[in-house]
């Protein structure tokens, strides 16, 4: 009897390992096919480093969104990320605080702005997307007012000088940052009581509260963690592009679109792969897709977004069908 139990446990463990490797193997196979299609130019060491650098900010965005949006879509997260990056840039350039100003200023600003949005949502008991759109417009107006003041003085909005804080986006520093973020998110999600509580809150916050989980406290902590991830993404985006412009009319949503796509794509894997790991795999694959089609000469914007949206829909449909068959 004990031997049968041991055999079943080993078989179950092997099945779990196989399930975990299915989606990474599929993405790897597709990447190899794309690499062959462009004569081996996709997976060269130099191009892979470019892909990795471009994917890391989107992975951090997806990690942040996975906590902030899990209880409902909060569009203010996009504007708070842009505004936080601008504050970080001002501290780094105008106050000569370098990395401390860039990342510290971004994190503090993003956390404060996101907690304000969450506080209003919980106090007013409004739907997240309603208060999110309102706060997004307000935060965007702050950025526009800053740009207007700069223009009145004959100046431009803050931009990082060439090479400033650029060490973090080079190899191997960017990989180390990604690894630290992945380990942190993995431990938070799987090894803490907070992670379990937040997953319950994400399913149904009110039922979770009736089961003894402190709903408000858990949501605030989750939003704070998500805001830190978004702030790091905003700082990295600022360093990569040297400047982040202040959009209007919900235009800041474009800054988190790829990260949001990575989060949505990872939803098809979350029953087989740990969510933070699934987000990383999805973010990397999306960066590979964009790099592939750019090398094919597909114009940035409409067609790339169309291909990406179609792929996400196809993948989620296949993943949903596979999960039903498993049941």
Q: How far apart are CA 201 and CA 185, in angstroms?
A: 17
pTM of the complete model = 0.90
Place of tokens 């996009």: 78
**How high is the pLDDT of residue 327?**
38
**How high is the pLDDT of residue 290?**
87
pLDDT tens string 38-79: 989 999 999 999 999 999 999 999 999 999 998 888 999 999
**How high is the pLDDT of residue 287?**
92
SS3 305: helix
**How high is the pLDDT of residue 97?**
93
Pick out the chain residues at pLDDT < 70.
1-20, 300-302, 318-327
Four-point Cα dihedral 280, 285, 288, 292, nearest 10: -170
Boundaries of every domain in the chain: 52-252
Cβ atoms 234, 86 nearer than 8 A: no
**How high is the pLDDT of residue 114?**
97
Note the Cα 295 to chain centre separation in Å: 24
Q: How far apart are CA 122 and CA 253, in angstroms?
A: 22
pLDDT tens string 138-193: 999 999 999 999 989 888 888 899 888 999 999 999 999 999 999 999 999 998 99
**How high is the pLDDT of residue 205?**
78
User: Which residues, including other chains, have CB under 8 Å from residue 288's CB and lie 6 or more apart?
Assistant: 31, 34, 42, 51
Place of tokens 């449909």: 317
**How high is the pLDDT of residue 18?**
66
């Amino acid at each position: 009897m004990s031997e049968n139990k041991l055999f079943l446990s080993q078989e179950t463990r092997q099945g779990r390992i196989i399930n975990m490797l299915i989606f990474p193997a599929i993405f790897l196979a597709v990447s190899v096919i794309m690499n062959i299609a462009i004569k081996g130019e996709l997976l060269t060491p130099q191009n892979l480093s470019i892909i990795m650098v471009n994917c890391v900010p989107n992975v951090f965005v997806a990690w942040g969104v996975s906590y902030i949006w899990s209880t409902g879509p909060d569009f203010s997260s996009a504007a708070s990320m842009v505004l936080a990056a601008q504050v970080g840039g001002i501290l780094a350039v105008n106050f000569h605080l370098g990395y401390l100003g860039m990342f510290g200023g971004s994190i503090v600003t993003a956390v404060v702005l996101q907690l304000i949005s969450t506080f209003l949502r919980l106090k007013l008991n409004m739907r997240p997307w309603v208060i999110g759109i309102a706060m997004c417009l307000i935060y965007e107006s702050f950025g526009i007012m800053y740009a207007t003041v700069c223009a009145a003085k004959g100046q431009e909005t803050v931009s990082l000088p060439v090479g400033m804080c650029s060490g973090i986006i080079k190899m191997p520093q960017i990989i180390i940052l990604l690894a630290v973020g992945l380990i942190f998110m993995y431990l938070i999600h799987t090894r803490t009581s907070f992670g379990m509580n937040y997953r319950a809150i994400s399913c149904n916050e009110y039922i979770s509260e009736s089961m003894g989980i402190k709903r408000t406290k858990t949501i605030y902590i989750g939003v704070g963690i998500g805001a830190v991830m978004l702030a790091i993404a905003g700082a990295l985006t600022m360093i990569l592009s040297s400047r982040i412009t202040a959009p209007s009319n919900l235009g800041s949503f474009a800054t988190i679109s790829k990260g949001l796509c990575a989060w949505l794509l990872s939803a098809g894997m979350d029953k087989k792969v740990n969510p933070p790991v699934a987000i990383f795999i999805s973010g990397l694959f999306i960066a590979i897709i964009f790099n592939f089609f750019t090398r094919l000469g597909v114009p940035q914007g409409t067609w790339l977004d169309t291909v990406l949206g179609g792929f996400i829909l196809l993948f989620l449909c296949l993943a949903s069908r596979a999960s039903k068959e498993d049941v």
